[in-house]
Amino acid sequence: MTLKTETSSDSQIMPFTTTLTRRSFVKMGGALFVSLALPAGVRAQTAESQASLQTNQLNPTLLASWLEIRSDNTILMRTGRTETGTGMSGYYTQVIAEELSVRPETISLIMGDTDKTPDGGYSAGFLSGMANVRKVAAYTHQALLGLAATQLGVPVENLNVVDGLISGGGKSIRYGQLLEGQHLDLKIPVTGEFAKAAPGKWVGVDGLDGLTVMGDPPMRPLNQCKVMGTSFPVPGIPNKVTGKTQWSCDVTLPGMLHARMIRPATLGSTLISVGAVDKKQFPTAEIVKKGNLVAVVSPNEWEAISASRAVAAGTKWTDWAGLAGSENVTKTLRAYKWNTPSERRGKPADVTAALAKATKKISASYEQPYVRHAPIGPFVAVADVRSDGSVTVWTHSAQSQGLRARIAYMLGTTPEQVVVRWLDHSGQYGRTTFGGDGAESDAVILSQLTRKPVRVQWTLQEDMMWSSVSPAWVSDIQAGLDPSGHVTALHSLFYSPHMMDPRPIGALLAGMPCSASEPGGWIATEWVYDKIQDRLEDVYGMPNLGAETASGGLRGNIMRTPGQRQQNFALEGLINEAAAAANADPIQFRLDHTTDERLINILKATAKAAGWEPRSSPHSQARKTGSTPVNGRGVCVMLRENAYWVGIAEITVVPDTGVIHVSRFTIGGEPGKIINPRQFGLCMKSGVVMGLSEALKEEVTFDKSRVTSTNWDRYKILTMEEMPEIKIVPLSRNDKNFGGGSEGANAVCPPAVTAAFFDATGIQARRIPLSPAYVTTLLKG
């Protein structure tokens, strides 16, 4: 039996087809397996070559089905993407349920295991992941309708499905009944490639997007959704609450050793000699070393910890003092001889002409020090490198396929030899998006050397010194205004060290191959001010600070709402300055510079919720001295991944102490169709907490040799008491598809808070964090 569903595509002449075939008859049960029709050039394993690999199941192209529908009406989805904490597992479930017309409770997910999931792709890339999953479910729905039409003798167009029950012409049948007694295969068209090392290119690994489903199967119109748009609970939460979740830190294997790493004394130190283990005190502890990678292992975790402290005390490293110190980071960036921009957008001649014609020009420089992802749980990983060269790694990385490619490259082997298994753990907020940074390379190297499974648990201090960071940046930005105060032209220049260096520190220190990325930056802003006609953006990149060292120095990496967090801060800061220069209300000023109806709607709705009264900044009562609080309010907007955001901060400042208290934050978000209203609201609120933390508190400090902000007393993040009242304004609409709703909220905090600071004091704050020390300095002028 073969059933073809022809679909059209807007980009290709050839129609994409799915094929439905019967694999076998079975005595009990039955199922439909949905798998991939691999694109030309991507080699799937044949049954014969699979057989040779069945002992270790390491075949990357083994066609694990994407979706399985069983005769008992349960559904299993396998995706290489993972839950990053913001609710993706719930959204994927809802999307599948919607397109298949089943209850979401009947669906379970397998996520992130490279030997069990077929597609790869970014865990953070929810929109592309969802588009895939949605099409897979939609193709499957069509195939099932075709089967039902045959079975019931009713034309497809007369069939209707509710909760997995297909009805039409007075007859009905469940999905599961259709499959009873047989195994069917549905192949759906995909394109793309599997992740593989690409040294020197971009982030050093290609294929991180994973596979993409082709074609346009008929899908449920967004205004007819029954499951999307409801607050379906996120599947993993009950187990997290009751202690049943298996986290990556919980993995134990027979014969496993616990390891603690002994890191270099400074970011640039190399090893002179390793201290000794006192075998009387630590009978089971052993030192393991490769290059500058040093560790102590023991079957007992506490013995590994205690012995590693003793060994570290006796380990000698070379001196190194190649950094200028975090207090001089802006100076360092200013002194760098920037070459040509990594990216440029806009028309230079038009912007130059428009700026020359402007009646007034405003220019300002914005900046931010290094900040970091700072999860509550430091990196942890378990690796088992076996004598036949096969490797299994247990991880919480957000890029299983990318990590696999990097581990294979490090070992000089093929990805087929490496299996990555994903488990829940602490949030990563972007640092594992490219599949590098983490404890996995440490664990693999130690397992290879000891010939035993090894679990590597980083300490907080180690995590805060050796994981990658979101680099410091400066931005020079200039606007030209016409006589009415309208912005006619805008030129921004953004300078930053490398923002995409996810090389694993273990491999670097051990001197093993690392697939290097290409230093540079990228333009991350999306433009909402269509009435500003001329705009030019230049983004410059440079190598990491300390890049010449064996460790790679301060390895820059992306962090939540990457690039846009920083560049939008500068842009919105300047828009607020231009509004003040024009003596205009900052919300009205924005409305005057756009015709974008979506921005206008969410901006007005958020302003209304905040009780915003139109006036210009600063406030008539603004002052920069005194021991009593002074109030201010500020606004900013952002467009990111088809989602519109508005932030309105209300703050008090005590000028004499420099202490800022955010009393209320109103956040508006319109991401097209909201898939899960409750989870969207939770993400808005939690994003505000992270964003205010960055606006008020966060800064990675370092001296000439090492990072010094290595615990929670030195790298402070927002506490519960510091959280303001948070008001959310979610807007859902059915006519603009889906937008990125899980992250973005954090990025609207800093520009709104600095605008509120100006409103309260009349002083522009063009740097974050607004720590009491910095605020006091600013106000003293």
Partner 1 sequence: MASELTLTVNGAKQVVSAAPETPLIFVLRNELKLSGPRLGCGMAQCGSCSVLLDGEETRTCITPVSYAVGKQVTTIEGLPAVWAVEKKLSAANAAKTLHPVQQAWIDEQVPQCGYCQSGMMIAAVELLAKNPNPTIPQIKDAFTNKPPSPHLCRCGTYAAIIDAVQRAAKAMKA
Asked whether position 399 contacts partner 1 by CB under 8 A, the answer is no
Asked whether position 717 contacts partner 1 by CB under 8 A, the answer is yes
Give the span between the Cα atoms of 256 and 259, in whole angstroms: 10
**How many C-beta neighbours within 10 Å does residue 451 have?**
11
Asked whether position 563 contacts partner 1 by CB under 8 A, the answer is no
Nearest to 296 by CA among 451, 437, 456, 438: 456
Distance of CA 259 to the CA centre of its chain: 28
- Report the residue number, 386 or 664, with the smaller CB distance to partner 1: 664
Note if the bond before 618 is cis, omega within 30 degrees.
Answer: yes
- Report the residue number, 379 or 473, with the smaller CB distance to partner 1: 379
φ and ψ of 372, to 5 deg: -140, 165
Asked whether position 730 contacts partner 1 by CB under 8 A, the answer is no
Note if the bond before 502 is cis, omega within 30 degrees.
Answer: no
Site string for partner 1, 455-494 (x = CB under 8 A): --x-xx----------------------------------
Asked whether position 504 contacts partner 1 by CB under 8 A, the answer is no
Least gap, CB of 200 to partner 1 (angstroms): 33
Asked whether position 699 contacts partner 1 by CB under 8 A, the answer is no
- Report the residue number, 525 or 742, with the smaller CB distance to partner 1: 742
Asked whether position 202 contacts partner 1 by CB under 8 A, the answer is no
Number of residues near partner 1 (by CB under 8 A)? 58
Least gap, CB of 712 to partner 1 (angstroms): 4
Asked whether position 213 contacts partner 1 by CB under 8 A, the answer is no
- Report the residue number, 491 or 560, with the smaller CB distance to partner 1: 560
- Residues with Cβ < 8 Å from 572, sequence gap 6 or more? 636, 637, 638, 751, 755
Site string for partner 1, 257-296 (x = CB under 8 A): ----------------------------------------
**SS3 assignment, position 76:** strand
Least gap, CB of 248 to partner 1 (angstroms): 10
Least gap, CB of 243 to partner 1 (angstroms): 4
Asked whether position 234 contacts partner 1 by CB under 8 A, the answer is yes
Restricting to residues 442-461, name those near partner 1 by CB under 8 A. 457, 459-460
Answer for which of 10, 46, 273, 302 binds partner 1 (CB under 8 A) is 302
Decide the pairing of beta strands 630-640 and 643-654. Answer: antiparallel
**Residue 730 CA: distances (Å) to CA of 315, 560, 564, 687:** 55, 20, 21, 14
- Report the residue number, 245 or 365, with the smaller CB distance to partner 1: 245
- Report the residue number, 534 or 743, with the smaller CB distance to partner 1: 743
Least gap, CB of 305 to partner 1 (angstroms): 8
φ and ψ of 646, to 5 deg: -135, 135
Asked whether position 426 contacts partner 1 by CB under 8 A, the answer is yes
Asked whether position 240 contacts partner 1 by CB under 8 A, the answer is yes
Nearest to 671 by CA among 225, 89, 126: 126
φ and ψ of 37, to 5 deg: -85, 100
Q: Which stretch binds partner 1 (CB under 8 A): 23-31, 201-209, 244-252, 261-269?
A: 244-252
User: Which residues sit opposite 634 in a β-bridge?
Assistant: 649
What b/e sequence results for 273-304 when a residue is b if at least 16 CB atoms lie within 10 Å of its CB, and e otherwise? ebbebeeeebeebbbbbbebbbbbbbeeeebb
Give the span between the Cα atoms of 774 and 766, in whole angstroms: 11
Residue 97 host element (H or E):
helix 88-100
Contact 365, 372 (CB under 8 A): no
**SS3 assignment, position 365:** strand
Least gap, CB of 701 to partner 1 (angstroms): 17
Least gap, CB of 371 to partner 1 (angstroms): 12
Q: Which stretch binds partner 1 (CB under 8 A): 38-46, 228-236, 543-551, 733-741?
A: 228-236
Answer for which of 29, 233, 513, 629 binds partner 1 (CB under 8 A) is 233
Contact 6, 15 (CB under 8 A): yes
- Report the residue number, 57 or 306, with the smaller CB distance to partner 1: 306
**Residue 316 CA: distances (Å) to CA of 262, 276, 312, 321, 520:** 11, 11, 8, 16, 35
- Report the residue number, 234 or 532, with the smaller CB distance to partner 1: 234
Give the span between the Cα atoms of 745 and 691, in whole angstroms: 7
Q: What is the DSSP letter of 45?
A: P
Least gap, CB of 166 to partner 1 (angstroms): 33
The angle subtended at Cα 690 by Cα 686 and Cα 692, nearest 5°, is: 110
Cα Rg of the chain, angstroms = 28
Asked whether position 148 contacts partner 1 by CB under 8 A, the answer is no
**How many C-beta neighbours within 10 Å does residue 349 have?**
10
- Report the residue number, 392 or 426, with the smaller CB distance to partner 1: 426
- Residues with Cβ < 8 Å from 67, sequence gap 6 or more? 32, 33, 34, 75, 76, 77, 78, 96, 136, 137, 140
Asked whether position 427 contacts partner 1 by CB under 8 A, the answer is yes
Answer for which of 449, 579, 580, 726 binds partner 1 (CB under 8 A) is 726
Angle between the 749-761 and 677-696 helix axes, to the nearest 10 degrees? 50
First to last CA, the chain: 81
Site string for partner 1, 663-682 (x = CB under 8 A): ---------------xx--x
Site string for partner 1, 45-84 (x = CB under 8 A): ---------------------------------------x
- Report the residue number, 497 or 691, with the smaller CB distance to partner 1: 691
Least gap, CB of 589 to partner 1 (angstroms): 30
Restricting to residues 351-390, name those near partner 1 by CB under 8 A. 374-378
Decide the pairing of beta strands 643-654 and 659-670. Answer: antiparallel
Give the span between the Cα atoms of 470 and 710, in whole angstroms: 15
Asked whether position 693 contacts partner 1 by CB under 8 A, the answer is yes
Which positions touch partner 1 (CB under 8 A)?
Answer: 84-87, 233-234, 236-238, 240-243, 245-247, 249-250, 252, 300-303, 374-378, 424-427, 429, 457, 459-460, 678-679, 682-683, 685-690, 693, 711-713, 717-723, 726
